[in-house]
Amino acid sequence: MDEDPSLRIGRQLVNFSGFFRVEALQQAARQLANRLRHRRRRFDAIAIVVIVAIAAAFRFWNLGDKALWLDEWLTLFIVNGYSSADLPLDRLLSFRDLSSVIQPHTDASLAQTLSVLNRESTHPPLFFLLQYYWFHWHSDRGLISPDQLPIVLRTLPTYLGIAQTVLIFWVSKLAFSPRVGLLAAALTATSPLTVYLSQEARQYTLAMVCLILALAGLLTVIKHWQYGDLRARKAVVLWIVANTLGLYSHYLFVLAFAAQGVAIALWLGQTQQWRKRRRCITAVLPGFSLPLLLFSPWLWRLFHQVNRAETEWATPFMSHWSDGLAPIGQTLVALLSAFIALPIEGQPPLILIPLAVTTLLFGLLLTVATWQGWRRLQSVASMSPESARLQERRTIIAMITLTIIIQMFVAFYVFGKNLTIAPRYHAIYYPSLCLLVAIALGGHSAYRPQLSKVLKRLPTFGTHWRRTLVLGVITAGAIGAICVTQNWAFQKGYTPREIAANIQPDDRPTLTIAAYNNLQEIALGWSILWELGRRTADRQTSQFALLDRTQGYDHIWDTLANGLDLASDAVSPGETSIDRPRRNADNLSANVSSSFLTTHPNVNLWIIAPGLRQIEFPDELALASTHRCRLDPETYRRVGIPYQGYRCVRNSGDRS
């Protein structure tokens, strides 16, 4: 292990005093060594408390200010037990109707949540089960309101993100050294990627926590085997439990689980003693067979969901040969975003170019420094048996990281599934990547990376180079984390708040229609209508509706012309398809002509239409046979999703 200098001085004093057999000096040296060890432990404790406080500050900063987006609404629907058949669709809605899904379904139960998850989602259940208990605990105490909804929904992943900082320190200290542990914790605390995922009500932080625990079990098992102890029962149990929970947290964890198997196989292949290798294989078999056995009840769901319509996002669009290089570029961007994230998105070229160049130069410096640090560690690996054992554990971490990335490339080039498309999917190997960088930058005494012949001529930083470099990497991460908390980085493909501001900038009466054909598009439309409702809740000048487009957009145009007099079994939140009463269309609150259009002769109509091109929006629409709507070409927008505005006026002969 990489020994602390103060502890080494104390040990040397003990050896020196023992050489002269001076008992008094020997006792004083031991006391000094113990004092230095205690001081180091106290420093580590204070440092990790400060780092965790910084991690918590970044993750709770502006936690409730960002608009809930598509995936987070899906989480809410599933946790509260709402399937697409239970939501108030195909009728007019007020903000009060939109807010009703905050409360659990009338039949809310764990079984109902699992049933919705099984029918409507493509994710394993663990995160949703934890979120179910977390959300319902707050709901039962009346702690959830429209304003508090984002915070309550996101706090569980936030706490998991903070726990991730503590756990990666523990694992690094356990397998390598306290210095590596503190650096890994600092990198995790300030990582833009981990801050971004900790502020989102999804399962990525849970998957990362499971991977850290799995690495803790694996590295502990390896460490025991290196010293000839093949039992390590507690570590094996931790390894099995962590991998099982990881498989139930996110399907991408399958890549991390397979990577651990590859790393163990390669490590055992280097073992010269066949007898030891055979005993290790016998000991490791439960670690791989039991998680698969425990995951087998849900494994058939994984194979069933691979080709579902909801996973079409992973199918690459290959219009040009250069699209085949997309995974490489996307992976490089994801690797950079783990350590730096400047506000590049949506900037003019005058700002974009300098920020992009700065990001690339930082990435180059970090890559070279990591490589040089790794080579330096390899050069000292043969100096002692302990150094060789440390190098074996480092190599296992490197193999796990590279194997996961290679599997992502195989998924694209062999199976036609692009798993590199978004930075959040790369979170599955972030813990091992963070460990690699922390080991390279903090795993040995000071060194100066030689970037090139030109940089060799620059004045040396001496022993302060490593500290300067480490401080620079942490500072860059902190700047990126600030950009994430202010929503300047990791921006979504569509922005509900911006769309809402474009649709209703003033008090004019507005009817907003969002089309859907599955639960994902319902969540997308809901996120926009929710922001619209929050803007106009006190003015009562907006009405909303989500209309089914499975029969085509012509059906929606006809529905609008008929005044939204829809099927008599339209549902309200909490009703089920079995026990909801049959209601007559005359009593249906969805009749758009009943009050809204009667009160407002001039109305703005907005159509949010996934998959519809600009030229496919009709020039005119009829609204409840009382209003004629004309397309306003200046109002077309596409902020991740197309939407078009219409100006509606009452027909001249209609006075109702």
Print the SS3 string covering 456-499. Answer: HCCCCCHHHHHHHHHHHHHHHHHHHHHHHHCCCCCCCCCCHHHH
Q: What is the pLDDT of residues 33-63, one digit of tens each?
A: 677 677 778 888 899 999 999 999 999 999 9
Amino acid making up residue 69? W
| pLDDT score of 408 more than 70 | yes
| pLDDT score of 463 more than 50 | no
Non-local (6+) Cβ contacts of 131 within 8 A are 75, 79, 153, 156, 201
Domain ranges in the chain?
A: 1-47, 86-107+494-650, 154-300+327-485
Q: 3-state DSSP: the chain helix, strand, coil percent, rounded to 5?
A: 65, 5, 30
Q: What is the pLDDT of residues 371-389, one digit of tens each?
A: 988 888 888 777 778 888 8
| pLDDT score of 399 more than 50 | yes
Greater pLDDT, 584 or 59: 59
Determine the Cα–Cα distance for residues 169 and 191; give it in Å rounded to an integer.
14
Residue 584: predicted pLDDT: 32
| pLDDT score of 603 more than 60 | yes
Residue 537: predicted pLDDT: 65
Confidence of residue 232 (pLDDT cuts 50, 70, 90): confident
Q: What is the pLDDT of residues 114-155, one digit of tens each?
A: 889 988 888 999 999 999 999 999 888 877 888 899 999 999
Determine the Cα–Cα distance for residues 66 and 416; give it in Å rounded to an integer.
33
**Which of 104-118, 474-488, 588-602 bottoms out in mean pLDDT, i.e. has the lowest?**
588-602
Rounded to a whole number of angstroms, the CA Rg of the chain reads 29
Residue 360: predicted pLDDT: 95
Q: How many CB atoms lie within 10 A of CB 213?
A: 21
**Which of 20-34, 288-302, 315-329, 439-453 bottoms out in mean pLDDT, i.e. has the lowest?**
439-453
Dihedral sign for Cα atoms in the order 280, 281, 286, 291: positive
Task: Calculate the alpha carbon distances from 591 to 174, 266, 545, 626 in Å.
Answer: 66, 67, 11, 12
Q: Has this prediction a pTM greater than 0.85?
A: yes
Task: Give mean pLDDT, residues 160-181.
Answer: 94
Helix 204-226 vs helix 233-247: crossing angle, to nearest 10: 160
Q: What is the pLDDT of residues 183-193, one digit of tens each?
A: 999 999 999 99
Q: Which two tokens stand for residue 569?
A: 């079994």
